[in-house]
Amino acid sequence: MSKYTCFDVTVKDHVAHVVMNRPDEFNTMTRLFWKELPELIKELDKNAEARVILLKGEGKHFNAGMDLANFAPADKGGVKKDPARMRETFYHEVLELQDTFSALEECRMPTIASIQGACVGGGIDMVAACDIRHCSSDAFFKIAEVDIGLAADVGTLQRLPTLMPLGAVRELAYTGRKFLPDEALSLGFMNKVYASKEDLEAGSLALAKDIASKSPLVTRVIKKQINYARDHSVKESLDYHAAWNSSLISGQDMEAAMKAFMEKSQANYDDLEPTHSFWEKDGLLP
């Protein structure tokens, strides 16, 4: 799957390694980055070969946010356009950028962000959409948009309040100050902090393999339920979960789990089925 420019993608032992591959530019987010990330996540989700996605950045820094070239003024060609219509177009562009990171949240498999060095600006937006976040002790975080005259608009201000105390989110967003791993851990933003990048890579991979050893159908349901519960009442979430569990409980997976427990062995589970578009089933697409 390494057919992308901004990412290297490999799948091994049911773990998809998605690596941002522009270390000399601190893995900043070019225009092509915003196109490729949702495409590759959706491809992984569709073919169902992976059961966990491990998101990493090559080099010293995980991600330094938006590439500054994206802010270069567009050539308007001397044509004066209606400002209201231009703003309406920009609205759709922002929605498209938001969808890039929402793909991490909406895919069927759990996602783990493995963070070293800088994770600033858009990097915060991105990892906030992941299920689990690990970092090394050299990591640092910054909601940097306020310092360039912007309000973070692709997920930070919407997702962080569900991960961290609201007062902390407000302070960090209003000031744009840098915060470090120990604070990120105490606030609930990080799940675990490792002493070194090597320990981070080993620990994140071990967690990914552990999750990948479980029934992918069950972890898919768990992810769906947790995301739903975050946005709904307890009563609504209980009813929603009852509907999902009653329709997707797998006797085959339960039998495999119980057998493995009794035999003190590792259970073997079938992968999820690849997804197909409605028209693909009828052979309308090659």
Question: pLDDT by residue for the chain (286 residues), tens digit each?
Answer: 568 999 999 999 999 999 999 999 999 999 999 999 999 999 999 999 999 999 999 999 999 999 977 766 665 566 788 888 888 888 899 999 999 999 999 999 999 999 999 999 999 999 999 999 999 999 999 999 999 999 999 999 999 999 999 999 999 999 999 999 999 999 999 999 999 999 999 999 999 999 999 999 999 999 999 999 999 999 999 999 998 888 777 778 878 878 888 888 888 888 888 887 766 666 555 5
Q: Which domains, from first to last, does the chain contain? A: 7-76+84-212 (3.90.226.10), 216-281 (1.10.12.10)
Distance CA 43, CA 87 (A): 32
User: In a 10 Å sphere around its CB, with 0-12 CB exposed, 13-18 middle and 19+ buried, how is residue 146 labelled?
Assistant: middle
Instruction: State the pTM of this model.
Output: 0.90
Distance CA 179, CA 196 (A): 18
Which are the contacts of 144, defined by CB distance < 8 A and separation ≥ 6?
Answer: 65, 120, 121, 176
Distance CA 97, CA 103 (A): 10
Q: Helix (H) and strand (E) counts for the chain?
A: 11, 8
CB-based contact 102:155 (threshold 8 Å): yes
Q: Tokens 């071990």: give the residue.
A: 206
Which are the contacts of 62, defined by CB distance < 8 A and separation ≥ 6?
Answer: 20, 27, 56, 113, 114, 115, 116, 117, 118, 119, 123, 139
**Nearest in space to 56 (alpha carbons), one of 124, 120, 115:** 115
